[in-house]
Chains A and B, each alone.
Chain A
Amino acid sequence: MALPKYVQQNVFTPAEIEFISEYEQITILPLQRMETLTLLEGTYGPFRPPITIKVPLWLAVTLKKKHKCSIQPPKWLNIDTLKKKKQKEESLETFSDLPYHYLEISTILLDCASDDIPYSDEIKILLKDIQEIRKRKTKSGLDLINSNNIQLDNLGLMEINEIRPFFSKAFNDMRKLEEVLPNSQDSQTTQSFNTSRNSAY
C-alpha cells in the first residue's frame, strides 16, 4: 500500500478496516421477492419477504441503497444495551465487551440505514462517549507498557489500528533498551572516567 514508510508498518487505513468489517453477517428484511444471488463470494437467498435472512454487511448496504431491503440492527446496537455498556466502561478499568467491529458497523449503519435504527441520534452520542472513555483508558494504559507482553482485551479493530504504530514501536524500543540495560552502567562509568582523564590534560 502506498503510504509513507513510517506509517506503512502494520497499519491499515480506515477504509481497509471498513472493508474488512463488511464481511460481518447482518440480518435483513427483504422488501421484494428475489431469487438466489450466486456471487463469487457465496450464495445468498432466495429472498422471500417477510422472512428475514442473514447476509454480509456489504450486500445489505447495497440492497438498502436500492430500497430493496430494510436492515435489522444487530443486538448490541440499541439504546439500552449501549447505555449499559457505557456505565460498565465508566466503572471498570478494563474495556467492556463490544464486538470487534463495533465502530465500523455502527458508522455504516447509522449512515445509510438510520431510519431502521430507533433513537439514532442518541445512539450516535452514546457511541461517541464510549469511544472517548476507551481512548482515555488506553492513554492511561501507557504506563503499563513493559517489554514482555501487553494485553488489551476487547478493543475494537479500529481502536487497535489507531494505537498500533505507537505501541508497537514503543514495544520494540523498550526491548532494545532492556537489552542494553545491564551493560550500560559499566560502559557509562568507564566512558566518563576516560573523558575526565582526557580533559585533565
Chain B
Amino acid sequence: MGYISKENFEKIYIKIRQDSIENNSSVLIFVSPSADSLCAAKVLLTLLKIDNITHQIIPISGWSDLSKANQTKIETNEELRTVIMINCGGLVDLTEFLSLSEILTVYIIDSHRPYNLSNIYSTNQIVIVDDGDIEEDMADIQKAFEELEYDTDSSSSDEETDEEEEEEEEEEIINVEDDENVDTTNLRDNENNNNDNNRKSRKRAIDESIDEYQSRRLKRLRKHQQKQENRRLISDYYSTGSYYGMSASEMLYILATQLARSDINILWLAIIGLTDQYLNGKIGHEKYLIQAQGYREDVLKFSTSVINKKNSTLGINDSENTLSLDESLNTDDIFSFNTLNSGSVNNGPVIAAHTSSSDEILRVEDDYRLMLWRHWSLFEAMYHSSYVATKLGIWRQEGKRKLNELLLKMGFPLNQCQENYTEMDIELKKILPEKLEDMAPMFGLNEMSYPSFVKQHGYKCTLSASDTVYSLNALLNRGWDFAQRIATQEIIPTPFLPQTSSRVTERETMDRGGMVGQPFGNIMDIVDPDAIYHSSITNNSISMNGQSTDDDDDDKDEDWMEGFYMAYDALDNIDLMLYGIKSAIHLQRAIVHTGLTILEHNPSMLLKNFRFVVIGADSVRNGLSNGTSGLGLEDGYGLFGKSVMHLEQLATFLGSAWKEHGNRRSKNSKALVTAAQNDSRDTYLVVGIIPSGLGAVSHTQRNTFGLAFQNTAQRTNARVKHDSFDASVIEVKKEDLKSFIEHLQSSVIFNDNDYI
C-alpha cells in the first residue's frame, strides 16, 4: 500500500535509516516555502543528524522547480534511495513527475488535500505519510479506484465476449425462427429430418441460453452501473475542492514521539506549524482547538522536567535534582488554559522566577487576534490586524472613530497606546486582558483571544507562536532583504505612524516621519521593498537593480532561496527572528494600507459568481466601472504581483471586509478573485479565495478555484503558469486576463451546502 498509518510512522524512519546506512546513500528532502514546512524540515533534520544520516535539503517553490530538481538531482543520482517531500507533491501523480528508479522510495509528508489517488494506490514506491484521512475516510474511494483501474481490462473484455455471445444467440434465435417458418413448407424434404434434429437440440439450447442470456445481461448492467458509480465517486473526490489536513510538522512530531526522541524544541516546532495553518486560514477553529489541547498536555509534561533542574537560589542547600515542584508555584496557573498574563516580557506564572539565561521554556498562554501586538504599539496592532480592522470597518471614518472609542472605553489613553507595547504603563498592561474581554464584544469583537503558546528565550525575549509564524512568513516572502537592512542599521523603522484619516495626508506624513533618518521620496519606497533598490541610499544596491531586469526567473529563484535559508536560520537564531518580526510589521503595513485604499474606493466588480479586484496600473484599462486609478502604479503595488503569500493575505483581508460589511444576501460575496500586476514579467498574479467569517470559524471551506483555474486555462488557451503548490494561485499573461476572467465565471460553481 502506498501509505503508512499514524501508528507506524517509525517504521519508515527505520527503513530510511537502514537504507542510508547500508548503501551509504544520502536522503534528498524537498521543502516547499511555508513556515510549517520549515519547522517540519527542522524536526526531520534534527532526527537525521542524531543518526548521522547524510541529507540534502532542496527548497522548491513550484512544480517547475520540482521537475528541474528532478532532472538535476534524481536522474543523475542512480544510487538514491530515499526522497522525502515536505508539503509538496501530494496533489499530482508523482510517477509522471519524477523518474523513479526501482530502488527509490518517495515519502510524501503533505498537508495539502485531496491527495492524488495514484500516489496512494498505484505503486508501493510512493509512500504517503497519513494522518488518518486515508485509512478512515477513503475506503470507498479506494475500492472505486481499484475497480476502475484494474477491472477495466477484464470488464471490457467481458463486455466484448458478452456482446459476441449475444450476437450469436440472436443469430441462433433468428435462424431457428426461419427454420420454423421454412419447416412448414418443406415437410417432405430429406433435409427436414436433419433440421428436425437440429431444431430440437437447438430449441433446448435456446431455452437454456435465453436464461443465461438474461442473467448475463443483468450482470452487465450491474457492472456498468457500478462503473458509473465509481467514476462519480472519484470525480466527486477531486471536485470538492482543496483543503488542508494535519500539518507536516505535526506528523513529524508524532514520528519523533514514536522514536522516543521528542523534546521541547521539537514540540515548539510542531506548535509553530499548527499555528501557521490556523493563522493562514487553512484549518478551522475546531481542529485547532483539538490539536492545541494535545499540545498543552505535552508542554506541561516537558516543562515540569525543566523546572526541576532549574530550582536554584543561592545559598539553599538543595540536593541537586529535587523532584518536587517548588511550593510557591501556583498549580492553577499551570493548568488553566486561560491565564492571560499581562504580556510583559518576563511576567507569567511563578516559574519565571526560576529561569536562567539559557532557558527555553514553553508556556501556555492565550493570544490575541492582533498581529504582533507585543512588538508594536497597541494602537498600531489593532489598526493593522485584519480581525479588528475589518470588523470595525476602519476604512471609513466611522470605523476609525469606533477604534478610538474602544480604547477609550477600556481606559487606555491614546498616547500610551501609540507607544511601543513594552513601554506602556505596567498598570495598563495588567488590566488589558480583562478590559478587552469586557469591552471588545460591544463592538462586535467577540473572539479576540484564542488559546496559544509562548516560548521564552532565556532573558532575551518571549515570543508567542503567532509572532514566530509571522516572522518566518515575512522572511520567506520578500522580507529578508528588509531584515538584512535593519540588521545593518541602514533603515531604522519607527514603531508607529501618526493616525490620519485621509490617504493623502497619510502619504505626506509617511514622507516626512514614517522612516526616521532616510529621505524616502514617496510611499512606494515604503510599500515596495523592490523600490528600496532604486533609492539612492546604498550604492551597492544599484548593481542589484541591473541584475533584476535581466533574468527574472533565475533572480527570483536565488532571491527566495536566500529568504528560505534566512528563515530556517531564524529558527535557531533569535536575533534573526526579531528582525523578521520587524519586516513582518513593515509588510503588514503595506498590506493594510493597500487594503484600506481599495476598500475606500471600492473598485471591485461583482461578477457572476464572485467578486473581482485588480491591483495595478492597468486597472482602468481592464474596464472597471469606477475610473479611480487610485490604485495606480505610482503607489507601488509591485509587492503583490510578486509575492503569493502577501497577495493571499490581502485577498483575505478584503474578503473578510466585504463579507462583513457587504450585502450578505447576494451570492456574489461568496468568493473573491484578486489579480495583482507583475510589471516585470507582464503578467497578473491571480488568487481565488473563499473568505470565511472573521474570528473563530469552526470549519474552513474547501477551495474549488484550483480546478476552475485549470478548466478556464484550457478553454481559453490563455498563457498561464499554474505553478504554485497552492492550486488556487495562477499567473496569467496580461493580455489574456480579461478573457480568462470572463470564462472563469462559467467554470466556477459553488455548492450552497458547503457554505458555512
Report the count of interface residues on B (CB-CB < 8 A): 13
| Cβ contact of A118, chosen from B50, B312, B357, B358, cutoff 8 A | B312
Check: B68 CB closer than 8 A to any chain A CB.
Answer: no
Stretch from A119-127, A152-160, A161-169 at the B interface: A119-127
**A121-B50 in contact (CB<8A):** no
Check: A66 CB closer than 8 A to any chain B CB.
Answer: yes
Check: A138 CB closer than 8 A to any chain B CB.
Answer: no
**A114-B358 in contact (CB<8A):** yes
Check: B207 CB closer than 8 A to any chain A CB.
Answer: no
| Cβ contact of A121, chosen from B261, B320, B356, cutoff 8 A | B356
Report the count of interface residues on A (CB-CB < 8 A): 10
Q: Report the bound CA distance from A166 to B694 in whole Å.
A: 70
Q: Would you list which residues of chain A between 114 and 145 have a CB under 8 Å from chain B?
A: 114-115, 118-122
**B314-A67 in contact (CB<8A):** no
Check: B665 CB closer than 8 A to any chain A CB.
Answer: no
Q: B540: which A residues are within 8 A, CB to CB?
A: none
Q: A118: which B residues are within 8 A, CB to CB?
A: 309, 312, 320-321
Q: B50: which A residues are within 8 A, CB to CB?
A: 66-68
Q: A120-B356, A120-B358 are in contact. Are A115 and B309 (CB under 8 A)?
A: yes
Q: Would you list which residues of chain A between 34 and 51 have a CB under 8 Å from chain B?
A: none
Chain B CB count within 10 A is highest, among A68, A121, A122, for A121
**B312-A121 in contact (CB<8A):** yes
Q: A115: which B residues are within 8 A, CB to CB?
A: 306, 309
Q: B358: which A residues are within 8 A, CB to CB?
A: 114, 120-121
Q: A67: which B residues are within 8 A, CB to CB?
A: 50, 261, 263
Q: How many A-B residue pairs have CB under 8 A?
A: 24
| Cβ contact of B49, chosen from A66, A68, A119, A120, cutoff 8 A | A66
Taken residue by residue from 284 to 316, chain B's Cβ proximity to chain A (1 for < 8 Å, 0 otherwise) reads as 000000000000000000000010010010100
Q: B306: which A residues are within 8 A, CB to CB?
A: 115
Q: A66-B50, A114-B358 are in contact. Are A122 and B309 (CB under 8 A)?
A: no
Least CB separation from B309: chain A residue: A115
**A122-B261 in contact (CB<8A):** no
| Cβ contact of B357, chosen from A66, A68, A121, cutoff 8 A | A121
Q: Report the bound CA distance from A121 to B358 in whole Å.
A: 8
Q: Report the bound CA distance from A19 to B755 in whole Å.
A: 65
Q: Would you list which residues of chain A between 14 and 59 have a CB under 8 Å from chain B?
A: none
Q: Report the bound CA distance from A121 to B356 in whole Å.
A: 6
- Within the complex, the shortest CB–CB distance from B315 to chain A, in Å, comes to 10
Q: A122: which B residues are within 8 A, CB to CB?
A: 312, 314
Q: Report the bound CA distance from A114 to B314 in whole Å.
A: 17
Least CB separation from A121: chain B residue: B356
Q: Report the bound CA distance from A115 to B314 in whole Å.
A: 17
Q: Report the bound CA distance from A115 to B460 in whole Å.
A: 19
Least CB separation from A120: chain B residue: B356
Q: Report the bound CA distance from A3 to B314 in whole Å.
A: 44
- Within the complex, the shortest CB–CB distance from A37 to chain B, in Å, comes to 13
Taken residue by residue from 90 to 131, chain A's Cβ proximity to chain B (1 for < 8 Å, 0 otherwise) reads as 000000000000000000000000110011111000000000
Q: A119: which B residues are within 8 A, CB to CB?
A: 312, 314
Q: A114: which B residues are within 8 A, CB to CB?
A: 356, 358
Q: Report the bound CA distance from A68 to B50 in whole Å.
A: 9
Q: Would you list which residues of chain B between 236 and 270 have a CB under 8 Å from chain A?
A: 261, 263
Q: Report the bound CA distance from A122 to B312 in whole Å.
A: 9
- Within the complex, the shortest CB–CB distance from A122 to chain B, in Å, comes to 6
Q: Report the bound CA distance from A120 to B357 in whole Å.
A: 9
Least CB separation from A118: chain B residue: B320
Q: B263: which A residues are within 8 A, CB to CB?
A: 67
Q: Would you list which residues of chain B between 307 and 360 have a CB under 8 Å from chain A?
A: 309, 312, 314, 320-321, 356-358
Q: Report the bound CA distance from A180 to B145 in whole Å.
A: 101
Taken residue by residue from 66 to 99, chain A's Cβ proximity to chain B (1 for < 8 Å, 0 otherwise) reads as 1110000000000000000000000000000000
Least CB separation from B355: chain A residue: A121
Q: Report the bound CA distance from A115 to B356 in whole Å.
A: 11
Q: Report the bound CA distance from A119 to B314 in whole Å.
A: 8
Q: Report the bound CA distance from A39 to B61 in whole Å.
A: 43
- Within the complex, the shortest CB–CB distance from A126 to chain B, in Å, comes to 10
Q: Report the bound CA distance from A96 to B314 in whole Å.
A: 23
Q: Would you list which residues of chain B between 122 and 151 have a CB under 8 Å from chain A?
A: none
- Within the complex, the shortest CB–CB distance from A66 to chain B, in Å, comes to 4
Q: Report the bound CA distance from A68 to B306 in whole Å.
A: 18
Least CB separation from A111: chain B residue: B358
Q: Report the bound CA distance from A115 to B50 in whole Å.
A: 19
Q: Report the bound CA distance from A121 to B353 in whole Å.
A: 13
- Within the complex, the shortest CB–CB distance from B10 to chain A, in Å, comes to 16
Q: Report the bound CA distance from A194 to B669 in whole Å.
A: 109
Q: Report the bound CA distance from A115 to B263 in whole Å.
A: 13
Q: B261: which A residues are within 8 A, CB to CB?
A: 67
Q: A68: which B residues are within 8 A, CB to CB?
A: 50
Q: Report the bound CA distance from A119 to B312 in whole Å.
A: 6
- Within the complex, the shortest CB–CB distance from A77 to chain B, in Å, comes to 12
Chain B CB count within 10 A is highest, among A66, A119, A122, for A119
Least CB separation from A68: chain B residue: B50
Taken residue by residue from 602 to 642, chain B's Cβ proximity to chain A (1 for < 8 Å, 0 otherwise) reads as 00000000000000000000000000000000000000000
Q: Report the bound CA distance from A68 to B357 in whole Å.
A: 24
Q: Report the bound CA distance from A118 to B356 in whole Å.
A: 11
Q: Report the bound CA distance from A67 to B261 in whole Å.
A: 9
Least CB separation from A80: chain B residue: B317
Q: Report the bound CA distance from A30 to B357 in whole Å.
A: 27
Q: A66: which B residues are within 8 A, CB to CB?
A: 49-50
Q: Would you list which residues of chain B between 367 and 409 have a CB under 8 Å from chain A?
A: none
Chain A CB count within 10 A is highest, among B50, B261, B320, B357, for B320
- Within the complex, the shortest CB–CB distance from A124 to chain B, in Å, comes to 8
Q: B320: which A residues are within 8 A, CB to CB?
A: 118
Q: B312: which A residues are within 8 A, CB to CB?
A: 118-119, 121-122
Q: Would you list which residues of chain B between 203 and 222 have a CB under 8 Å from chain A?
A: none
- Within the complex, the shortest CB–CB distance from A69 to chain B, in Å, comes to 12
Least CB separation from B263: chain A residue: A67
Q: Report the bound CA distance from A147 to B670 in whole Å.
A: 92
Q: Would you list which residues of chain B between 45 and 87 have a CB under 8 Å from chain A?
A: 49-50
Q: Report the bound CA distance from A78 to B358 in whole Å.
A: 18
Q: B49: which A residues are within 8 A, CB to CB?
A: 66
Least CB separation from A116: chain B residue: B309
Q: Report the bound CA distance from A6 to B356 in whole Å.
A: 41
- Within the complex, the shortest CB–CB distance from B302 to chain A, in Å, comes to 12
Q: Report the bound CA distance from A120 to B321 in whole Å.
A: 13
- Within the complex, the shortest CB–CB distance from B304 to chain A, in Å, comes to 14
Q: Report the bound CA distance from A114 to B358 in whole Å.
A: 8
Q: B357: which A residues are within 8 A, CB to CB?
A: 121
Q: Report the bound CA distance from A114 to B458 in whole Å.
A: 13
Least CB separation from B321: chain A residue: A118
Q: Report the bound CA distance from A114 to B312 in whole Å.
A: 13
Q: B314: which A residues are within 8 A, CB to CB?
A: 119, 122
Q: Report the bound CA distance from A66 to B45 in whole Å.
A: 12
Q: Report the bound CA distance from A122 to B263 in whole Å.
A: 26
Taken residue by residue from 423 to 436, chain B's Cβ proximity to chain A (1 for < 8 Å, 0 otherwise) reads as 00000000000000
Q: B321: which A residues are within 8 A, CB to CB?
A: 118
Q: Report the bound CA distance from A121 to B310 in whole Å.
A: 10
- Within the complex, the shortest CB–CB distance from B651 to chain A, in Å, comes to 44
Least CB separation from A67: chain B residue: B50
Q: Report the bound CA distance from A127 to B174 in whole Å.
A: 110
Q: Report the bound CA distance from A68 to B356 in whole Å.
A: 24
Q: Report the bound CA distance from A68 to B51 in whole Å.
A: 10
Q: Report the bound CA distance from A21 to B428 in whole Å.
A: 53
Q: A121: which B residues are within 8 A, CB to CB?
A: 312, 356-358
Known: A115-B306, A121-B356. 10 other contacts (CB 8 A): A67-B261, A67-B263, A114-B356, A118-B312, A118-B320, A119-B312, A119-B314, A120-B358, A121-B357, A122-B314
- What are 7 pairs between A and B in contact, CB < 8 Å? A67-B50, A67-B261, A114-B358, A115-B306, A120-B358, A121-B312, A122-B314
Which 3 residue pairs are nearest across A and B when measured between Cβ atoms? A121-B356, A66-B50, A118-B320
